[in-house]
Amino acid sequence: MVAASQPYDQRDGYIWMNGELISWRDARVHLLTHALHYGSAVFEGERVYDGEIFKLSEHSQRLHESAKGLDFVIPYSVAEIDHACRDVVRANKLVDGYVRPLAWRGSEQMGVAAQATKINLAIAAWDWGSYFDPAARTKGLRLTIGNYRRPDPRTAPAKSKAAGLYMICTIEKHRAEREGYADALMLDWRGQIAEATGANIFFVKDGVLHTPLPDCFLDGITRRTVIGLAKQRGLKVIERAIMPEEMADFSECFITGTAAEVTPVAEIGPYNFAIGDITRTLLDDYSALVHRAKAEPAKVAAVG
C-alpha cells in the first residue's frame, strides 16, 4: 500500500482521461467543475488480481447505469471503458492493485442546471493493499453504529454509485476511527440494518446467511459474488429486512466489497461475533476465485 503521506496528485504513472493516456500529474480539472460544486459524478472501484481486473465488464456496466441515475450519459461504451481500464493497468505495470473510473460533469455551465456540461471520463489505477488492517482477517473488525442513515430512495439516487452519496459515509468513517473503531454500520431511514460505510454486510445464524435487502443502497458486485459462492457450498441465503436488535442472535458477521473483499467482523456496538467456519470458508473461496483457483468447493458443516 502506498504511504498516506504521498498525495494522490503527486504520483508517477499514467491516467486515462477522455480518450488518452496522460501523465498522472497532468490529470487535472478546473475549480468551477460542476461535479465539485454539485456532486454530479459517479465512480467505480475495481480490484486487479494477477494482472486481471475482476468482473471488469460488470463494473463498467454499473458505471453507465449510475450515470443514467444522475441524468447523464457517458460518451464511451462498456467495451471502450473495459479496454481503457486494461490500458491503464498495463501502463502502470500493475499486477495487483485498484482501478478507479470516474465520470463527471465539467465546467461548461455553472448552476443547478447542467445540460450544457461536457461529460468527462477518467480512469486511474494504483497499488493498494488491504483496505483494513490485515490483522482483521484473523481478529475481525470492530464497528460502531452510525448516526447518519442511508436515505429513502425517493430522496436520492440510491442505486447509483454517486460521489455525493458517500458524504455521510466519510463523516461516519471519521467518527468511528476517532472512537477507536475500524468502520461504522449504517442503518437505513426506517431503522433497518443497511451496510457499512463502503461495504455490504452478512450475518450467520444456525448455518444460514442473512443479509439486508438492497432496496436503498448498492447491491454490490462482491455481495452478489459471495452469495453465489455460498449457494455453491449449499448454504441458504436469505435477503430480508434486518433490525439492529437481531444482531444479538447472530453467531458470525462479515462485510464484503471490492476494497474490503471479505472481511470478518468481531464486534458491532454491544454485539459480538465469532469468526466461524462459514466466514472463513467464504473468505477463502473468494480469495481462490479472484486468483482463478480451480479447487472444487466442498460442503460446509452447519453452524448453530
For residue 23, give the nearest of 103, 127, 122, 97 by alpha carbon.
122
DSSP code string of 17-38: ETTEEEEGGG----TT-HHHHH
Cell numbers placing 211 = 443479509
- Buried/exposed 195-225: b ≥16 CB within 10 Å, e otherwise: bbbbbbbbbbeebbbbbbebbbbbebbbbeb
Contact between 219 and 61 (Cβ < 8 Å): no
Contact between 121 and 60 (Cβ < 8 Å): no
Class of residue 293 by CB neighbours under 10 A (exposed 0-12, middle 13-18, buried 19+): exposed
Scan for cell 461536457, then name that residue.
Answer: 118
CA dist., res. 43 & res. 102, Å (int)? 4
Q: Is 161 an active-site residue?
A: yes
Helices (H), 74-201: 78-91, 136-139, 167-178
Catalytic member of 161, 173, 236, 299: 161
CA dist., res. 84 & res. 122, Å (int)? 9
Q: How far apart are the first and last CA of the chain?
A: 38
Conformational region of residue 47, where left means phi above 0, alpha means psi within -120 to 50, and beta covers everything else? beta
Contact between 140 and 276 (Cβ < 8 Å): no
CA dist., res. 50 & res. 241, Å (int)? 37
Active site residues: 161
